[in-house]
Structure 1
Amino acid sequence: MLPIAALLLTACGSNETGTDDSGGTASTNEAKETTIYLVRHGKTWFNTMNQVQGYSDSPLTEEGEEQAKLVGEGLKDVEFTSAYSSDLGRQRNTAKLILEQNQHDVPQIIENNGFREKNFGSFEGQSNDDMNLAVAKALDLDYPEGSDELWDFLKEQLTEEELANKVAEVDPTQTAETYDEMHQRVEKVMPEMIKEVEAKGGGNVLIVSSGGIIPIILESVAPGEYQGEKIANCSVTTLTYKDGKYTIDKIGDTTFVDQD
């Protein structure tokens, strides 16, 4: 009977999760945390010339390349398990320059067009002033004449959703994206990205996107957290993901590029 009793004691003492040295339960399925570094691309030629830049593209300026290198230097000790951009050259090249400064083995950049900037339709390549004036006139607003002042004025008058929809409404070709269309592609790309990252065991992720779409990404994963903070060229927005929930740590941080 003793061998049988011993077997019963052994069976009763077994535990699928196991125990740690202190006698507590140690889970074998502890959720892994993912940290996302969401970066806007460096300054481009279109940015410098005040031209509308969405699906259209233009190269990084020397300043934009230097911005990307500074971000890379600031993140050089971060070991990235995954890296993403869209097929837009300004995003892809910013990601490359950031990773070139890294002290670890770096992942291949995965291109996913869900991270593209907004599609501004027939306004692409035109002056930002022309697009902004078209929006202001359609709203019958008493608007300021200056370029930067007009943009800031519109941002004060309209939410991200209202502004995107008004641009789509006044686009003569009706090809500009609505807010819902942008939100839908973001809601698709983020779960795709997380699934791929978790398959690699989580870790740190670099995503290079654009100033117009980053606020929509934030609204998609953490509704109400984005409050209009400026998303400057090569600013870094940091998020963590765990147990199906995103937490925003920083929005539009320019510490790495503000060296003066």
Structure 2
Amino acid sequence: MKKIVGVLLACVVGITVLGGWNIDEVEAAKKNDEITIYLVRHGKTFFNTTGQVQGFADSPLTDKGISQAKKLGTGLKNIKFDLAYSSDLGRQRNTAKLILAKSGNAKTELLEHDGFKEWNYGGYEGKTNEEMWTPVFEKNGFKMDEEWSDYGKLVEKIGDEGIANSIAENDPLKAAETYDEITTRGQAAMNKVIKDAKKQKAKNVMIVSSGSMIPTLLELIAPGEYDGETIDNCSVTTLKYKAGKYSVKKIGDMQYVE
């Protein structure tokens, strides 16, 4: 009886639980299992400025894009990034390096994964946005203009899947990715991040990706959370990962750049 009373008393006051841990230690362990992911769009590029299609094709950061990345790095200077990722696209890699340097994380190794590349637009790469997008808009009863006024309606009607598959279908070279191809590599990339983070007990992870791929990643890991918010250059989308689930905290945050 004394043993039973002793165990009950210990549990009540938070001294003993299974495995010899106290309650505070268990709660701390649960908290430490949380991973914060900073999902960043690269800085402004030459193709962003000229209105050219930019997927697997690349163009350099402009002076504004470099400035955006530096400002973002300064804004994130109090965060220690345990892991950092981009793809091998120069605009993503260089943005990531600038952020790491300015945030005091220059020693953090930058890892690369193809899953974070922008969508591959095949034969449309380098051509004008109008040339690729006008057929997609018109087929669905909308108009393509400089303000992208009907884009939200287009997404609502056919979604990212419909858009990606329409571009792939229209591509004269038949080299553009289908939605299944895009999501397969995107999911593999996120799985790798979580695996690495758990192995290294990482708390903060930075990923630099692109404007179409970021919403795709969000839909993969937190379906329904993305609702058409603008993903501007060097915006930050903040995620939390815990106990096998993602939660979205902020989407397209521009506070550090503006």
- Contact (CA 8 Å) 2:100, 2:106: kept in 1 or not? no
- Whole-Å Cα distance in 2 between the matches of residues 179 and 149 of structure 1? 22
Residue 229 (structure 1) aligns with: 229
| Counterpart secondary structure, 1:80 | coil
| Counterpart secondary structure, 1:148 | coil
Does residue 94 of the first structure (1) align with residue 104 of the second (2)?
no
| Counterpart secondary structure, 1:225 | coil
Residue 66 (structure 2) aligns with: 65
Does residue 82 of the first structure (1) align with residue 83 of the second (2)?
yes
- Contact (CA 8 Å) 2:124, 2:132: kept in 1 or not? yes
- Whole-Å Cα distance in 2 between the matches of residues 25 and 179 of structure 1? 46
- Whole-Å Cα distance in 1 between the matches of residues 105 and 211 of structure 2? 28
Offset at residue 147 of structure 1 (A): 2.8
What is the TM-score with the length of structure 1 in the denominator? 0.86
2:146 is aligned with what amino acid? Answer: S
Structure 2, unmatched stretches of 5+, are 1-5, 11-15
Q: Give aligned-pair identity as a percent.
A: 48
- Whole-Å Cα distance in 2 between the matches of residues 131 and 237 of structure 1? 27
- Whole-Å Cα distance in 1 between the matches of residues 60 and 230 of structure 2? 22
- Whole-Å Cα distance in 2 between the matches of residues 147 and 128 of structure 1? 10
- Contact (CA 8 Å) 2:73, 2:102: kept in 1 or not? yes
Residue 148 (structure 1) aligns with: 147
Residue 182 (structure 1) aligns with: 182
**Residues 32-54 of structure 1, C-alpha deviation per residue, up to 9 Å, x if partnerless?**
11100000000000000000000
| Counterpart secondary structure, 2:20 | coil
- Whole-Å Cα distance in 1 between the matches of residues 134 and 86 of structure 2? 31
1:63 is aligned with what amino acid? Answer: K
Q: Which has the larger Rg?
A: 1
Residue 253 (structure 1) aligns with: 253
Matches within 5 A, 1:34-73: 34-73=35-74
RMSD: 2.2
Structure 1, unmatched stretches of 5+, are 1-8
Match of residue 18, structure 1, among 17, 20, 24? 20
Does residue 120 of the first structure (1) align with residue 121 of the second (2)?
yes
Offset at residue 181 of structure 1 (A): 1.1
Offset at residue 226 of structure 1 (A): 0.7
- Contact (CA 8 Å) 2:86, 2:110: kept in 1 or not? yes
What is the TM-score with the length of structure 2 in the denominator? 0.87
- Whole-Å Cα distance in 2 between the matches of residues 19 and 136 of structure 1? 60
The 1:97/1:25 distance shift into structure 2, 3 A limit, reads closer
| Counterpart secondary structure, 1:43 | coil
| Counterpart secondary structure, 2:58 | coil
- Whole-Å Cα distance in 2 between the matches of residues 59 and 105 of structure 1? 21
The 1:154/1:26 distance shift into structure 2, 3 A limit, reads closer
